[in-house]
């Protein structure tokens, strides 16, 4: 997935963010700043990060108008250092002020996700393991947050409940067992991933032709043992409390994938400053 800011979901997210913050108008700027006053705004990194979401500046300013020039100096996925300039914008000072917080909120949040995604992917470098994101995203911002995860080097897991079959614990219980759940899922016409909690469930899933198994909340030693049992009969995804500090240990167990909800649900915002210079 590229950082596609033309997607209708992205345009709608920008529209809603601007409406939420500006409402009927920026009363402070409209009272204090001259209507024709012009300025240049510069976005500056205040810490090392992996950048994501800078392409959103274009639709943000386009929706508000009053901008003469936008120069993006680094694109999503770039690894930038402290004090690097990210982008510059010239135009009406009122526009730059009213868009400041929305622009920073997107940039700081999405770059935070890209940065932690990069920590995970850096940790497993040199292994066959790939890092997956999850559906643990901010409601309404999933597409953007998954774009940010990808900018950091992670691979997107399913976008939602509609584009992949993943049989989890509650599905197994509702169906009456592993075999019953897998038999029903065959009618979906999609590849099937199934979560297993015990060795017995693992054996049953493999016996019914499972090609992708999810092993959750195992210690590395357990994971390595289970993966040896699988012996290449299915691809293996590990999940459950894995951090950038433990990711390599799990990857070296032989896992094909590690999925980490922390990439989106626990990413801290990075520090980006917006400096305004008056003309």
Q: Indicate which residues carry an active-site annotation.
A: 101, 136, 168, 195, 216
Q: What are phi and psi of 27, to 5 degrees?
A: -65, -35
Q: Which two tokens stand for residue 266?
A: 């626990």
| 61 within 8 A of 117, measured Cβ to Cβ | no
Torsion of CA 215, 216, 220, 224, to 10 degrees: -10
| 15 within 8 A of 158, measured Cβ to Cβ | no
Question: 25: left (phi > 0), else alpha (psi -120 to 50), else beta?
Answer: left
Cα gap 73→77, rounded to integer Å? 12
Q: How many CA atoms lie within 13 A of 229 on its CB side?
A: 18
Cα gap 151→257, rounded to integer Å? 18
Cα gap 269→109, rounded to integer Å? 5
Paired residues of 151 in beta bridges = none
Cα gap 147→111, rounded to integer Å? 10
**Hey, is 245 helix, strand or coil?**
coil
Paired residues of 38 in beta bridges = 92
Nearest 5°: the CA angle 176, 180, 186 is: 145
């Amino acid at each position: 997935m590229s950082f596609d800011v033309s997607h209708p979901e992205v345009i709608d997210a920008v529209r809603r963010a601007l409406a939420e913050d500006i409402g009927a108008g920026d009363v402070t700027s409209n009272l204090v700043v001259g209507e024709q006053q012009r300025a240049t705004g510069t976005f500056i990194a205040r810490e090392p990060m992996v950048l994501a979401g800078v392409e959103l500046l274009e639709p943000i300013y386009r929706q508000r108008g009053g901008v003469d020039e936008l120069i993006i100096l680094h694109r999503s996925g770039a690894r930038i250092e402290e004090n690097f300039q990210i982008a510059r914008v010239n135009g009406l000072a009122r526009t730059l002020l009213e868009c400041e917080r929305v622009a920073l909120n997107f940039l700081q949040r999405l770059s935070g996700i890209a940065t932690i995604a990069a920590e995970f992917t850096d940790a497993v470098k040199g292994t066959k393991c790939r890092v997956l994101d999850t559906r643990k995203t901010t409601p309404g911002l999933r597409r953007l947050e998954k774009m940010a995860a990808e900018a950091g080097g992670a691979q997107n897991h399913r976008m939602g409940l509609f584009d992949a079959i993943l049989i989890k614990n509650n599905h197994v219980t509702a169906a009456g067992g592993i075999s019953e759940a897998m038999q029903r899922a065959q009618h979906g016409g999609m590849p099937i991933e199934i979560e297993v909690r015990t060795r017995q469930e693992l054996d049953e899933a493999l016996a019914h032709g499972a090609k992708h198994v999810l092993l959750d909340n195992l210690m590395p030693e357990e994971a390595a043992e289970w993966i040896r049992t699988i012996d290449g009969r299915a691809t293996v995804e590990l999940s459950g409390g894995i951090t950038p500090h433990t990711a390599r240990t799990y990857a070296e167990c032989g896992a094909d994938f590690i999925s980490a909800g922390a990439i989106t649900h626990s990413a801290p915002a990075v520090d980006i400053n917006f400096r305004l210079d008056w003309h």
